[in-house]
Amino acid sequence: MPRQERLPRPIGKGGSWVKPCLNPSLVRTRDLEAYLDIAAQAGYTAVEADVGAVVALVRAQGMRAVRKLFRDRGIELGSFGLPVDVHAEEAVFRAGLERLPEAAAVAAELGARSACTWLWPSVDELPVPYASRLAVRFRRCAEVLAACGLRLGLEFVGPHHLRGRAYPFVYTMADTLAYIDGIGAPNIGLLLDSYHWYTTEATAEDIRRIPVHRIAHVHVNDTDRPPAEAVDNERLLPGEGRIPLAAFFTALADIGYAGPVSIEVLRKEPFAEPDLEVARRALAGLRRVLAAV
């Protein structure tokens, strides 16, 4: 049997070893079905998506229908934003926490491996009490997620313009891993974003020092600015800037990472082109980068 027949979804050179995810930041649509259509048409096999919209659809149409929506398009849920506001007042946090089990169960059945959120690089509150209050909340979320075989991914945020508050929080890989250790839940991992890796001037060697199982999720994007000048919401598509993404992915390949890579390109304004076009251009950019690995 010719390989062509066995492998109906041809995968570009070098692109087979991670799972590129369409990210909501790339598109204008907020309709889940339209979003999945775009993902499938552009050639993705996974998406990052708003789990709130997914749960709403499950409630309206049932899990079977939603599962079919994903499977008919060959799409899995790669990861999703933690649907709990860990920065909010206690009542808001608790309300989110109570909704988490349903979201986690739905997301896990659609293929998700992690729910992710991020950390401020600097804070105005006293840093240790602030970190401690967050740790309590992360631990609670992580325990709910563990029951569905999901991890909680914590993303450090690197851009220098966000470091100006009164005290530093964590914004390097090493410090974020130390913070995760301090929280003490076994299923919390790192969300490694190329933008933050670049703006903290981390190296490929730094990535190679991380045990692969500690990386829960990966974001990719680009910038044409030097590390200290890159602005968080002025990102470029992967391969359209100067971040050494080949080195980034080579290091990830070296440690054995084979999970989702979500193309998160935060911007002030949406892209001008049609959603499908952006989705394709993003994936093509990622594939070019991966081909160099």
**Of 90, 97, 87, nearest to 119 (Cα)?**
87
Give the nearest distance from C-beta 171 to a second copy in angstroms: 10
Counting Cβ atoms within 10 Å, is residue 164 exposed (0-12), middle (13-18) or buried (19+)? exposed
Give the nearest distance from C-beta 167 to a second copy in angstroms: 6
148 touching a second copy, by CB under 8 A? yes
Give the nearest distance from C-beta 203 to a second copy in angstroms: 19
Nearer Cβ to a second copy (34/108) = 108
Nearer Cβ to a second copy (224/273) = 273
223 Cα distance to chain centroid: 18
Nearer Cβ to a second copy (82/104) = 104
Nearer Cβ to a second copy (44/198) = 44
Tokens of 169: 């929080």
146 touching a second copy, by CB under 8 A? yes
178 touching a second copy, by CB under 8 A? yes
> Out of 12, 81, 85, 187, which residue is the one contacting a second copy (CB under 8 A)?
187
Residues 21-60 that bind a second copy (CB under 8 A): 40-41, 58
> Out of 1, 60, 91, 272, which residue is the one contacting a second copy (CB under 8 A)?
1
Q: 9-15 — which CB contacts under 8 Å span 24+ positions?
A: 9/45, 9/74, 12/287, 12/290, 12/291, 13/287, 13/291, 14/287, 14/290, 14/291, 14/292, 14/293, 15/286, 15/287, 15/290, 15/291
Residues 208-247 that bind a second copy (CB under 8 A): 211-214, 216
Tokens of 20: 């590129």
256 touching a second copy, by CB under 8 A? yes
> Tokens 């729910």 correspond to what residue?
115
**Piece of the chain touching a second copy by CB under 8 A; list 11-19, 89-97, 218-226, 236-244:** 11-19
Nearer Cβ to a second copy (167/203) = 167
- Helix %, strand %, coil % for the chain, to 5? 45, 15, 35
Nearer Cβ to a second copy (186/269) = 186
Query: Who contacts 169 (Cβ-Cβ below 8 Å, separation ≥6)?
Result: 119, 120, 121, 122, 123, 127, 130, 131
